Structure 1
Amino acid sequence: MDEEPTESLWVRIKGRAETGDIIVGVCYRPSNQEDCLDEALYRQIGAASCSQALVLMGDFSHPDICWRNNTAGHKQSRRFLECVDDNFLLQVIEEVIEPTRRGAMLDLVLTNKDGLVGNVKLKGNLGCSDHEMVEHKILRAARKAHSKLTALDFRRADFDLGIVGIVQP
């Protein structure tokens, strides 16, 4: 089966052995996009979120989402929130900074790793665009921190068998 085309670009930034690769995705979702194209985008996001480090950004055109309460008024926006939750993504642009386009939070930066993205700032418009530029840093430690804590890895879970993978330090 051929996959529906989406307006997205995916880049793998090769890292050193101790830091690993980072997947960076840039997406544009038109506000009138059909459900089948949304689902194709969600499959791409799901595949990319399996990587250890993901930064996903773009205009997702869901002005009715309240990120503070994780709620939305429209069916398509609620489905997008489900995709974000299902893939353990964090939205790092805070609504208290200010909206990114005409009073709405359309432009997002999502990541699957807390602390990977920092210093998020809105930097005004570029040229005649009515969107704010979003500047941020991708933070990478020079070496991995070793933790003695054991964590559950729900991505490796087999819920039919009731088995959840364990991540060892």
Structure 2
Amino acid sequence: MRRGAMLDLVLTNKEGLVGDVKVKGSLGCSDHEMVEVEILRAARRVHSKLTTLDFRRAQFGLYRDLLGKVPWDKALEEREDQDSWLVFKNHLLQAQERCIPTKMKSGKNAQRPARMNKELLGKFKLKAYRG
């Protein structure tokens, strides 16, 4: 605080995440002061949900066919680089949306690497218990 005015802000990405904000003493010999905040538990327990592509159920044959049927010469004819990229990206994303389903990941599963499926995790747990 300088002359009674707080100069720092506490920014969060969720409403109600921070409780009491207290200004503590000076930090060493500098003119900066320490700020203590209380992080509320209820707001932290919210799990984010992540949508990912499910390549195990993808139809790559259909994906290849859809992109192969696009008349690329006509689609990209007389276009600038940026416009060509946008046309290509649009076709690619449309084919992806049609051929590669999505799945929701949340909680602990969102943090686990994709290569760690249930079968591998079960084997690791068995080894851990056997010691």
Q: TM-score, normalised by structure 1?
A: 0.23
Name which structure has the greater RCO, CA cutoff 8 Å, separation 6+: 2
Greater per-residue helix proportion: 2
Greater percentage in strand: 1
